Amino acid sequence: MTERRFDRVVDFLGEETHRRLMKARIVVIGLGGVGCHAAIALARCGAGTLKLVDFDLLTETSLNRNPIAGLSDIGKPKVEVLASQLRKTCPNTEIETDVEFFHENTASKILDPPPDIVVDAIDSLNPKVALLEYCIRNRIPVVSSMGASGRRNPSLVRRGDISQTNNCPLARQVRKYLRTRGISEGIQCVYSVESAGKHALPPDTDDQTLIRGRIRNRIPSLITMPGIFGYALADLVLEFIEE
């Protein structure tokens, strides 16, 4: 018997798809503006289990993109702030947490057991590519966010295979790094064809991004575009569950 809170979701997705969603185990990696919105959307739809993964602490400058955090949450792990809120508002979803930095040496730990699907909302290039490669090599479905910062036009947001992405500096570097690993397609992405203009900064390609807690390039952003990207990623997950 489905609770009334999911009636509209069931009306939209159908009972069988929603049953599969309630049994699904989904991992969201990266809980900045994009990942936070994606996780909330999936929990609100009734996802069975969400594993939240992020190493960072919540900063004051990230509050403008976070839909649930407040001033009292500054300095706390992003994972714990979001987990606490979701456990209160979405009790049907089991929340797992991992305050961990994703990279090649932590991949097998974080993604064991293999989930039904992974949401990649990592904003650092090397860990992002490591995650995408690991998922492809291990046949774990994954959807990925390209660059949302520095943009504001929702009509220019696109969804498609990694091979179709264009006019996005982050996507260009991701494609380049994946090609050196023999991967050129097979990853569904959310991206924007809008130029970031004066706000465009190159992705942080320095190998030092492997060092936990390193300060990365800060690109101006509003809550609007990261939110749209997050919800678009969540919908890609729902489409996957429907198939």
Q: In this structure, what are the phi and psi dihedrals at residue 100, rounded to the nearest 5 degrees?
A: -145, 150
Answer whether residue 9 is part of any domain.
no
pLDDT of residue 208: 41
Rounding to the nearest 10 degrees, give the CA dihedral for residues 199, 153, 230, 237: -130
Answer whether residue 64 is part of any domain.
yes
Domain containing 127 equals 20-242
pTM above 0.85, yes or no: yes
Q: Has residue 202 got a pLDDT over 60?
A: no
- Three-class DSSP category at 22: helix
Answer whether residue 90 is part of any domain.
yes
Q: What percent of the chain has pLDDT over 70?
A: 90
Q: How far apart are CA 181 and CA 21, in angstroms?
A: 32
Rg for the chain, CA atoms, rounded: 17
The alpha helices in the chain, defined as continuous H runs, are: 7-13, 15-23, 33-45, 78-89, 107-110, 125-137, 169-179, 224-242
* b/e map 89-127, b = 16+ CB within 10 Å: ebeebebebbeebbbeebbeebbeeebbbbbbbbbbbbb
- Structure letter (DSSP) for residue 155: G
Q: 235 falls in which pLDDT band (50, 70, 90)?
A: very high
Q: 212 falls in which pLDDT band (50, 70, 90)?
A: low
pLDDT of residue 203: 54
Q: How far apart are CA 123 and CA 149, in angstroms?
A: 10
Please tell me the total count of domains within the chain. 1
CATH number of the domain enclosing 192: 3.40.50.720
How many residues in the chain? 243
Answer whether residue 3 is part of any domain.
no
User: What residues contact 11, with CB distance under 8 A and at least 6 apart?
Assistant: none
Q: Has residue 121 got a pLDDT over 70?
A: yes
Q: How far is CA 167 from CA 55, 76, 150, 151, in A?
A: 29, 35, 13, 12
Answer whether residue 200 is part of any domain.
yes
Answer whether residue 35 is part of any domain.
yes
Per residue in 75-118, pLDDT (tens digit) is: 999 999 999 999 999 999 999 999 999 999 999 999 999 999 99
Q: How far apart are CA 24 and CA 1, in angstroms?
A: 17
Q: What percent of the chain has pLDDT over 90?
A: 84
- Structure letter (DSSP) for residue 216: P
Per residue in 157-183, pLDDT (tens digit) is: 999 999 999 999 999 999 999 999 999
Mean pLDDT of 208-224: 65
Answer whether residue 7 is part of any domain.
no
Q: Has residue 216 got a pLDDT over 80?
A: no
Q: Has residue 197 got a pLDDT over 90?
A: no
pLDDT of residue 167: 93
Answer whether residue 14 is part of any domain.
no
pLDDT of residue 69: 93
Q: Has residue 220 got a pLDDT over 50?
A: yes
pLDDT of residue 221: 86
- The overall average pLDDT reported for the chain is 91
Q: Has residue 210 got a pLDDT over 50?
A: no
Mean pLDDT of 29-37: 97
pLDDT of residue 243: 86
- Three-class DSSP category at 47: coil
Whether 115 contacts 28, CB under 8 Å:
no
